[in-house]
């Protein structure tokens, strides 16, 4: 009897067709769902079921985030569409712009001013105009009086130290304002005679400075002006200071001119020309608030100065325009960053989808035991004819309405974002052209670079724009030569001993906080990296890279396989998923930002575009630029992209420079927990050069 009951139960169990996902239909029937994500190829695997459930939740969450993200981007873009005609709207409606009549870039911020010297001193008492010139004498001030140093002449300023190298244009406006109908040569001759009679006359030195300004000879003008400042009495010293500040301003040393003009204002706070010229200097320097304050002071002291009033309104108009363009720039940068973030999430969503589909049972397995009449309510897509077992078979993908809706929404989002990205890039390019067309008001940013080009020229080096073979190899001496160096007694000698570190010291270091990330700067090898990200890609110091900005991605798929190099990259890197875990190495940021404008107020995304431009133009060794790109991705927290760049760099780097790449690779592997591989990379780097500090730190 018992065996009959057992046989009956066995037949019942054998006849059951299992399903992992059941749904209740509209008519109340409970049946399995054909397109269910839980219809697994391994229905017996509980862990696979739990992971699939988590995967479904992540897909739903990511999709909702993508939709909301796209809606937020659309709203942000809609608020910007009306602001793209900012410049035209300001010039046609803003009161300050209408009053000015023209943009600040068309305003003369370098007027020829010498102060109210004619109102305070009678020139005819010192310059006998009626006396004919009996010789070609010139008012040179170099040998009138020996003045090597004076506390009153601002000898510490760079423009004063390098006064022999200054240059300026002839200021013919001074001749018309001060001399009237007097011939310039005759004026210079009389000033020279006055200096011969009185070699310590501040007044004749000041007039000699004005003469050289008319001629456009800045070095002689400064020499005369500094002696005028030294000899001038307090009640007239502001005239000499104004003259000296005007020369520096005309020579495009506006920052130094501001210091001197402040001294002129301190000596004579009630003189309007001092405030007017100081306002022009601040306008050139971009400090519009102080510039407007100086113009207000000048107008209060001397009402009716139309030139000052027009310049003030030009500055106010320009300040509004620049603020509006900067706001647009920041908004577009925000949208670009959001689009990149959307792209990242979309990639995650697609990866989850691929894994979800792979874990599902094949379609033929899901169709077993399925009521085929239920398939007629679904729409088919992607039908194709193929041959199976020698018979033609028409195969169609069958999707539910929800899947079709999701697919259509995804297509709509992708197309919409592509159009949006195109519009953003167009507007960004337009704003970049507007800002470059206006240019920096201070030409000193364009004509000189004290820390860059002048220093290189002083050392006899020529910086070439574009691609240059010269910069594909080291251009300066390495910091740590690989050759053996003579050791001297110093406090660090104990760290070179074979028994250091001791075992107990190693055991005390149990936290990863003791092991900061390491980066070996290529300049240790003699490469001038700052040139690759600046002058060699045609970017002047102090300027930003034109929009749009893209990150420096490395296409590792284009590299050939190398068994020797592949040993540094464990296969489990991609399987464990550690490369997708954000790990920002913020302590390395100083290494990246120092290559661009000494790291002042630099945006990481802008530096990334510089790296990409340098790679595309080929201005330097590809392996070096890819190593810098890996540094960028380590700072951004994208270990996968950093690893791709290091792999490409290691493939093309010369043997003697492998240690530069291996140090970064070992540090990144150590951060990800691959200690054996990190140790190998650090050891191989140390074998190339035993005196580099970064390698020993990494090891």
Q: Which of 266, 304, 308, 269 is nearest to 291 (CA)?
A: 308
Q: What is the pLDDT of residue 402?
A: 45
Q: Phi, psi (5° rounding) for residue 583?
A: -135, 95
Could you tell me the domains of the chain?
A: 116-268 (1.25.40.10), 453-698 (no CATH)
Provide the terminal-to-terminal Cα distance of the chain, rounded to the nearest Å.
76
pLDDT tens profile 551-576: 888 887 777 777 777 777 777 766 65
Q: Which of 643, 634, 681, 647 is nearest to 516 (CA)?
A: 634
pLDDT tens profile 587-599: 788 888 888 866 5
DSSP state of 690: S
| Token pair recorded at residue 194 | 């006055």
- Angle at alpha carbon of residue 417, lines to 407 and 424, rounded to 5°: 180
Q: What is the mean pLDDT of residues 665-683?
A: 81
Mean pLDDT of the chain: 74
User: With contact defined as beta carbons under 8 Å apart, do 659 and 688 qualify?
Assistant: yes
Beta bridge partner(s), residue 386:
393
Q: Which of 686, 633, 249 is nearest to 441 (CA)?
A: 249
| Token pair recorded at residue 669 | 């592997």
User: With contact defined as beta carbons under 8 Å apart, do 629 and 645 qualify?
Assistant: yes
Top pLDDT among 129 and 521 is at 521
> Distance (Å, rounded) from C-alpha 571 to C-alpha 405?
38
3-state secondary structure labels for all residues of 623-684: HHHHHHHHHHHHHHCCHHHHHHHHHHHHHHCCHHHHHHHHHHHHHHHHHHCCHHHHHHHHHH
Q: What is the pLDDT of residue 90?
A: 80
User: With contact defined as beta carbons under 8 Å apart, do 173 and 112 qualify?
Assistant: yes
Question: How many alpha carbons lie under 13 Å from residue 204 in its C-beta half-sphere?
Answer: 24
Q: 94: helix, coil or strand?
A: coil
Beta bridge partner(s), residue 22:
32
Q: Which of 26, 18, 66, 65 is nearest to 43 (CA)?
A: 18
Number of H helices, E strands in the chain: 30, 4
> Distance (Å, rounded) from C-alpha 666 to C-alpha 519?
10
Q: What is the pLDDT of residue 264?
A: 92
pLDDT tens profile 466-498: 344 556 777 776 766 654 444 444 444 554 566
Cβ atoms < 10 Å from Cβ of 526: 14
> Distance (Å, rounded) from C-alpha 533 to C-alpha 545?
10
> Distance (Å, rounded) from C-alpha 418 to C-alpha 343?
11
Q: 40: helix, coil or strand?
A: strand
Q: Is the pLDDT of residue 174 over 70?
A: yes
Q: How far is CA 360 from CA 117, 352, 364, 365, 518, in A?
A: 92, 12, 11, 10, 44
DSSP state of 562: -
Q: How far is CA 666 from CA 584, 591, 675, in A?
A: 16, 17, 9
Q: 460: helix, coil or strand?
A: coil
- Strands in 25-68 per DSSP E: 30-32
| Token pair recorded at residue 96 | 């300050």
DSSP state of 361: P
Pairing status of strand 379-388 against strand 22-24: unpaired
Q: Which residue has the tokens 């973030």?
A: 341
pLDDT above 70 coverage of the chain, percent? 65
Before 223, cis peptide (omega within 30)?
A: no
| Token pair recorded at residue 565 | 């190099």
> Distance (Å, rounded) from C-alpha 544 to C-alpha 547?
9
Concatenated DSSP letters of 129-181: TTSPP-S------TTTS--S--TTTTTTSHHHHTGGG------HHHIIIIITT
Top pLDDT among 119 and 403 is at 119
Q: Which of 608, 660, 69, 590 is nearest to 346 (CA)?
A: 69
Q: Which of 219, 267, 218, 216 is nearest to 241 (CA)?
A: 267
Q: Which residue has the tokens 């102090």?
A: 542
Q: What is the pLDDT of residue 606?
A: 85
Q: What is the pLDDT of residue 221?
A: 93
Beta bridge partner(s), residue 196:
none
Q: Phi, psi (5° rounding) for residue 379?
A: -95, 140
Local confidence band at 18 (pLDDT 50, 70, 90 cut-offs): very low
Helix (H) or strand (E) holding 412: helix 401-438
Here the contacts of 507-513 (C-beta below 8 Å, separation 24 or greater) are 512/671
> Distance (Å, rounded) from C-alpha 283 to C-alpha 277?
10
| 593: Cβ contacts below 8 Å, ≥ 6 apart | 599, 602, 607
pLDDT tens profile 346-362: 888 888 778 777 776 66
Q: Is the pLDDT of residue 245 over 90?
A: yes
Query: Given CA atoms 287, 293, 296, 302 in this order, what sign does their dihedral have?
Result: negative
Cβ atoms < 10 Å from Cβ of 632: 24
Local confidence band at 24 (pLDDT 50, 70, 90 cut-offs): low
User: With contact defined as beta carbons under 8 Å apart, do 225 and 206 qualify?
Assistant: yes
| Token pair recorded at residue 321 | 């325009």
Top pLDDT among 632 and 448 is at 632
pLDDT tens profile 299-319: 999 888 888 999 999 999 988
| Token pair recorded at residue 27 | 């008519």
> Distance (Å, rounded) from C-alpha 532 to C-alpha 465?
10
Q: Residue 289, class by beta-carbon neighbours within 10 Å (0-12 exposed, 13-18 middle, 19+ buried)?
A: exposed
pLDDT tens profile 409-440: 454 555 555 555 566 566 556 555 555 555 44
Q: Is the pLDDT of residue 506 over 80?
A: no
| Token pair recorded at residue 62 | 């990511």
| 3: Cβ contacts below 8 Å, ≥ 6 apart | none
> Distance (Å, rounded) from C-alpha 231 to C-alpha 97?
44
Q: Phi, psi (5° rounding) for residue 24?
A: -100, 120
> Distance (Å, rounded) from C-alpha 608 to C-alpha 432?
17
């Amino acid at each position: 009897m018992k065996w009959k009951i057992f046989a009956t139960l066995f037949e019942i169990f054998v006849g059951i067709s299992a399903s992992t996902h059941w749904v209740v239909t509209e008519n109340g029937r409970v049946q399995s769902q054909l397109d269910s994500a839980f219809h697994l190829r391994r229905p017996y695997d509980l862990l696979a079921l739990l992971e699939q459930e988590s995967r479904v939740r992540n897909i739903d969450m990511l999709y909702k985030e993508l939709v909301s993200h796209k809606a937020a981007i659309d709203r942000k873009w809609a608020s910007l569409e009306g602001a793209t005609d900012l410049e035209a709207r300001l010039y046609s409606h803003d009161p300050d712009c209408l009053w000015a009549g023209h943009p600040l870039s068309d305003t003369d911020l370098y007027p020829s001013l010498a102060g109210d010297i004619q109102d305070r001193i009678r020139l005819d008492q010192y310059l006998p105009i009626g006396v004919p010139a009996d010789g070609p004498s010139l008012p040179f001030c170099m040998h009138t009086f020996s003045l090597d140093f004076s506390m009153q002449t601002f000898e510490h300023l760079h423009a004063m130290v390098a006064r022999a190298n200054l240059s300026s244009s002839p200021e013919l406006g001074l001749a018309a304002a001060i001399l009237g109908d007097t011939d310039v040569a005759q004026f210079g001759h009389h000033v020279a005679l006055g200096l011969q009679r009185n070699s310590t006359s501040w007044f004749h030195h000041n007039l000699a400075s004005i003469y050289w300004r008319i001629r456009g000879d800045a070095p002689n003008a400064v020499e005369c002006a500094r002696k005028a400042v030294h000899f001038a009495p307090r009640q007239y010293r502001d005239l000499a200071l104004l003259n000296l500040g005007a020369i520096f301003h005309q020579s495009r040393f506006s920052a130094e001119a501001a210091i001197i003009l402040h001294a002129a204002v301190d000596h004579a706070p009630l003189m309007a020309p001092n405030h007017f010229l100081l306002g022009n200097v601040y306008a050139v320097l971009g400090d519009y608030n102080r510039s407007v304050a100086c113009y207000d002071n000048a107008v209060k002291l001397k009402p009716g100065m139309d030139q000052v009033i027009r310049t003030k309104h030009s500055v106010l108009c320009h300040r509004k325009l620049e603020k509006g363009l900067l706001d647009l720039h920041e908004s577009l940068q925000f949208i670009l960053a959001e689009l990149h973030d959307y792209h990242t999430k979309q990639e995650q969503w697609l990866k989850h989808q691929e894994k979800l589909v792979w874990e599902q049972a094949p379609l033929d397995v899901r169709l077993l035991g399925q009521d085929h009449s239920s398939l007629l309510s679904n729409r088919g897509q992607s039908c194709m004819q193929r041959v199976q077992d020698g018979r033609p078979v028409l195969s169609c993908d069958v999707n539910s309405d929800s899947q079709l809706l999701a697919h259509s929404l995804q297509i709509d989002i992708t197309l919409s974002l592509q159009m949006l990205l195109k519009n953003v890039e167009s507007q960004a390019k337009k704003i970049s052209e507007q800002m470059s067309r206006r240019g920096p008001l201070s030409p000193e940013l364009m004509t000189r670079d004290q820390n860059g080009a002048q220093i290189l020229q002083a050392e006899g080096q020529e910086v070439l724009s574009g691609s240059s073979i010269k910069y594909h190899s080291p251009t300066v001496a390495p910091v740590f030569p690989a050759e053996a160096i003579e050791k001297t007694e110093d406090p660090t000698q104990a760290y070179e001993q074979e028994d250091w570190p001791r075992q107990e010291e190693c055991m005390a270091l149990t936290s990863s906080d003791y092991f900061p990330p390491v980066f070996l700067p290529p300049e240790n090898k003699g490469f001038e990296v700052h040139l690759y990200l600046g002058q060699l890609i045609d970017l002047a110091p102090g300027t930003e890279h034109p929009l749009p900005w893209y990150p420096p991605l490395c296409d590792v798929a284009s590299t050939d396989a190398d068994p020797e190099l592949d040993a540094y990259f464990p296969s489990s890197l991609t399987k464990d998923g550690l490369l997708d875990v954000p790990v920002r190495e913020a302590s390395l940021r100083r290494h990246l930002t120092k290559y661009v404008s000494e790291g002042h107020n630099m945006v990481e995304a802008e530096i990334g575009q510089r790296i990409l431009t340098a790679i595309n133009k080929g201005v330097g060794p590809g392996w070096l630029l890819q190593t810098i790109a890996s540094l960028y991705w380590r700072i951004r927290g994208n270990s996968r992209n950093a690893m791709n760049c290091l792999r490409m760099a290691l493939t093309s780097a010369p043997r003697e420079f492998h240690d530069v790449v291996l140090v970064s690779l070992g540090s990144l592997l150590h951060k990800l927990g691959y200690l054996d591989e990190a140790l190998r990379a650090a050891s191989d780097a140390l074998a190339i050069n035993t005196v580099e500090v970064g390698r020993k730190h990494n090891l």
